[in-house]
A and B are shown apart, each in its own frame.
Chain A
Amino acid sequence: MNYWPLLGIALVVIGFALRFNPLLVVVGAAVATGLLAGLDFAAVIEALGKAFNDNRYISVTWVILPVIGLLERYGLQQRARSLIESVRGATMGKLLVIYLGFRQITAALGMKDIGGHPQAVRPLVAPMAEAAAEKSHGALPKAEREQVLAMSAATDNVGLFFGEDIFFAIASILLIQGVFESYGYPLTPLELSVWAIPTAICAFIIHGWRIQALDRRLGRVKLKPVKEPAP
């Protein structure tokens, strides 16, 4: 077997690790992989062009940006913050754990388009989490503020990934069903989706605990190293 095409994967790993521009890394890896597999250059460019064109629907979602931008112009993020500030006892931990559960349950009911990064995390969830964190811990240094924002995005991902497979009519369940059927194992979507439940529960417990742990860590008093007075 020709193992050379794997060099393309190595290029991706090295390129990302060295923080080259990801677009350059991806196209470089695609061309290298194709050539090493014995395709000629024009065929690689054609494959790349065809696949890019077939996947245009992925980038269609950016049409949401004018809506989000316009609402931000009129104070949407500030509104999200004041809403959380007005809730007594709201902490970042509670807020994100509730969002995690909400995202898992709605995704499990097939509503995976509630939430998402451009439409929910940037304008609503992240500012709310930041406001809640500041409410309990005071103004946050830059590094910790970014941790809170990143945790908001991570929570959206975890909630989506480990909720959506409980819904039986979702692409990944249909893919599993299709693969097993082609090997002579007919399964129903429902048989598969119930087995997503144990992992969903583990995900809620593990990620929920980590959210709370971050909230506690932010609250810790930071002792600055005090210089010993010179003798």
Chain B
Amino acid sequence: MITYEWLYWLAGTFFAVWALLSLREGKWSNAAFWGLLAASFFAGSHLSDFANGVLVLALVAIAGTGRVTRSDPSTTTLAERQQLSDRLGNALFVPALIVPFTAVAGTLLYNYTALAETGLFEPRRETLILFGIGVLIALGAAMVWLKPPLIAPAQEGRRLIDSIGWAAILPQMLAALGAVFALAGVGEIIGDAAGEAIPDGSIFLTVVVFALGMALFTMIMGNAFAAFPVMAAAIGIPLLVETYGGNPAVIGAVGMLAGFCGTLLTPMAANFNIVPAALLELTDQNAVIRQQIGTALPLWLCNVVIIYVGAFLLWN
């Protein structure tokens, strides 16, 4: 059975190659950073929690002091790229589309045919595993078709990963912060405080506090999944559903979406908001959030109205 462990070996190999290439160029900090990450992928499952924790501290010590810097491996010039693009035409899109196609079509094929019974993939892990397989197919196809120097994909990948730098592990680090928050009981504290902030007797204001709590707590945690169980337990179920008799399906579904509006507003949702700013090489790390504010705020209001109308006015 193919498990996540296989993917960790694949990713570990890529990061190890990037570490070696950095080392060859004398970029010691980059080499140490990507090397440690490779070690985490290779050995993380066998290390103690404490050893993994020390590894995290080491990664942060290197990157947190700004030592992971951009690199400039030799590549084609802009003029050459324009020429190549004219010569190769739209076929250039094909390898890029192999990856999502493999992930999506593969997942559908696997889940809706007898293939699932073969147990080829670890249950519920098939999409990411197929994504990894798609990368290998796309890489193979591009190598055969374009015949670049063998080292080219590694160097081009290194250029991109170095331009992303520390942001590359921020999403994973924030997930770890969420776990520490959960351990420290931050969720219960917030739920408790939100429960006390409710004005008595007003359904509409209770809906507002519920939706506001979802958005704010999502902003703090970086994703709505951590916020939802807390706000549902503090306000959604005891007050909106039980006391005021609202429609549970609307309160649940649209409450989650009010949380998603918070995701658009927070640097804690690094995967969606900070990493793209790095990927697009924007000067302002919060540029993506800035473009999202004007959408998130009115949309949050829409969610309040949808809950109030759908769960109460139409339901009762």
Q: Quick one: which of B44, B55, B63, B283 contacts A21, CB cutoff 8 A?
A: B63
Q: How far is the CB of B19 from chain A (nearest CB, A)?
A: 13
Contact among B37, B95, B180, B250 with A30 in the assembled complex (CB-CB below 8 Å): B180
Question: What B residues does A23 contact at CB under 8 A?
Answer: 59-60, 63-64, 166, 169-170, 173
Q: A30-B180, A172-B225 are in contact. Are A50 and B52 (CB under 8 A)?
A: yes
Report yes or no: A207 in contact with B295, Cβ–Cβ below 8 A.
yes
Shortest beta-carbon distance from B268 to chain A in Å: 7
- Kindly identify, within residues 13 to 44 of chain A, every residue whose CB is under 8 Å from any CB belonging to chain B: 16, 19, 21-24, 26-27, 29-30, 33-34, 36-37, 39, 42, 44
**Total interface residues in chain B, CB < 8 Å:** 147
Asked if residues A65 and B161 are in contact (CB atoms below 8 Å), the reply is: yes
Whether B270 is near chain A, meaning CB under 8 Å from some CB there, is: yes
Residues of A within 8 A of B274 (CB): 22
Q: A67-B95, A76-B96 given as contacts; is B52 within 8 A of A53 (CB)?
A: yes
Q: Is A139 an interface residue (CB 8 A)?
A: no
On whether the beta carbons of B92 and A149 are closer than 8 Å, the reply is: no
Task: Name A146's closest neighbour in chain B (CB-CB).
Answer: B282
Q: Does B23 contact A (CB under 8 A)?
A: no
Indicate the size class of the contact surface on chain A.
Answer: 35 or more
Interface centre among A46, A48, A55 (most CB of B within 10 A): A48
Task: Classify the interface of chain B: helix, strand, loop or mixed.
Answer: helix
Look across to chain B and name the residue whose beta carbon is closest to the beta carbon of A203: B299
B153/A66 in contact, CB under 8 A: yes
Q: Are A75 and B166 in contact (CB under 8 A)?
A: no
Least distance between B284 CB and chain A CB atoms (Å): 7
Q: Which of B88, B132, B148, B177 contacts A79 (CB 8 A)?
A: B88
Chain A hits for B181, CB < 8 A: 5, 8, 30, 33
With both chains docked as a complex, state the minimum distance between the C-beta of B160 and any C-beta of chain A, in angstroms. 4
Q: Looking at the assembled complex, report how far the CB atom of A79 sits from the nearest CB atom of chain B, in whole angstroms.
A: 4
* B245 at the A interface (CB under 8 A): no
B82 within 8 Å of A (CB atoms): yes
User: Does residue A98 face the partner (Cβ distance < 8 Å to B)?
Assistant: no
> Inside 8 A of B11's CB, which chain A residues have their CB?
56, 59-60, 62-63
A43 to chain B, nearest CB (A): 8
Q: How far is the CA of A105 from the CA of B142 in the complex (A)?
A: 29
**What are the residues of chain A within 8 A of B107 when measuring CB–CB?**
113
B257-274 contacts to A, CB under 8 A, are: 257, 260, 263-264, 267-268, 270-274
Q: Which residues of A contact B4 (CB under 8 A)?
A: 56-57, 60
A91 contacts the other chain (Cβ, under 8 Å)?
Answer: no
Selected interface stretch from B24-32, B113-121, B185-193, B200-208: B185-193
Distance, CA A77 to CA B160, complexed state (A): 14
Counting chain B CB atoms within 10 Å of each CB, which of A2, A3, A114 scores highest?
A114
- Please encode chain B, from 220 to 251, with 1 for each CB lying within 8 Å of some chain A CB and 0 for all others: 10001100110011000100010000001110
Known: A53-B44, A199-B303, A206-B298. A75 touches B277 (CB 8 A): no
Q: Nearest Cβ distance between residue B281 and chain A, in whole angstroms? A: 8
In the complex, which residues of chain A have a beta carbon less than 8 angstroms from the beta carbon of B248? Answer: 180, 185, 187
Give A residues with C-beta under 8 Å from B.
1-3, 5-6, 8-9, 12, 16, 19, 21-24, 26-27, 29-30, 33-34, 36-37, 39, 42, 44-80, 82-83, 110-111, 113-124, 126, 142, 146-147, 149-154, 156-158, 161-162, 165, 171-173, 175-177, 179-180, 183, 185, 187, 191-193, 195-196, 198-199, 202-203, 206-207, 210, 214
| Other contacts beyond A46-B48, A55-B175: 6, CB < 8 A | A1-B189, A2-B189, A50-B179, A60-B10, A62-B11, A121-B276
A-B contact pairs, 30 of them (CB 8 A): A8-B184, A27-B56, A27-B57, A49-B54, A51-B180, A52-B56, A53-B45, A59-B168, A61-B131, A62-B161, A63-B7, A69-B159, A69-B160, A70-B157, A113-B103, A116-B100, A142-B283, A150-B280, A156-B276, A157-B292, A161-B257, A161-B260, A165-B260, A191-B249, A192-B249, A196-B253, A196-B254, A202-B306, A206-B295, A214-B291
